Amino acid sequence: MHDGQEIRAPRRCEDLAAVGGVFRATDEDFRVDEVPLYEASGDGEHVYLHFEKRGSTTPFAVSRIACSLGVSERDVGVAGLKDRHAVTTQWISLPRVDPARVEALDVEGVRVLSVARHRNKLRTGHLAGNRFTLVVRDACAGAVERAEAIAARAVASGVPNYFGEQRFGRDGDNAARALAWLRGGPVPRDPQQRRFRVSALQSSVFNVWLAARVRDGLLDRWVPGDLAMKGVGGRPWAIDEATAADLYPRGAASASGPMFGRSMDRPGAEAGEREDSALEAAGVRRDDFDGAGPLAEGTRRVSRLFPTEFEVSARGDDVVLAFTLPPGCYATVILAELGVDGAAGVAPAPRMEHPAPAPGGVD
**How large is the C-alpha radius of gyration of the chain?**
21
The series of mean pLDDT values per 10 residues for the chain, 363 residues long, is 56 91 88 96 96 94 96 95 93 96 96 97 94 93 95 96 89 91 91 91 96 96 98 93 97 97 95 97 93 92 97 93 95 92 54 38 28
What amino acid positions are annotated as catalytic residues? 83
Cβ distance 125 to 79 under 8 Å? Answer: yes
User: One-letter amino acid identity for 98?
Assistant: D
- Torsion angles phi and psi, residue 256, rounded to 5: -110, 155
Left (φ > 0), alpha (ψ -120 to 50) or beta: where does 295 sit? alpha
Domains annotated for the chain, with CATH where assigned, are 38-115 (3.30.2350.20), 161-305 (3.30.2350.20)
For residues 32 and 131, give the distance between their C-alpha atoms in angstroms, rounded to a whole number: 6
For residues 336 and 18, give the distance between their C-alpha atoms in angstroms, rounded to a whole number: 9
**Rounded to two decimals, what is the model's pTM?**
0.89
* pLDDT at residue 115, rounded to an integer: 97
238-290 pLDDT, tens digit per residue, is 999 999 999 999 999 999 999 999 899 999 999 999 999 999 999 999 999 98
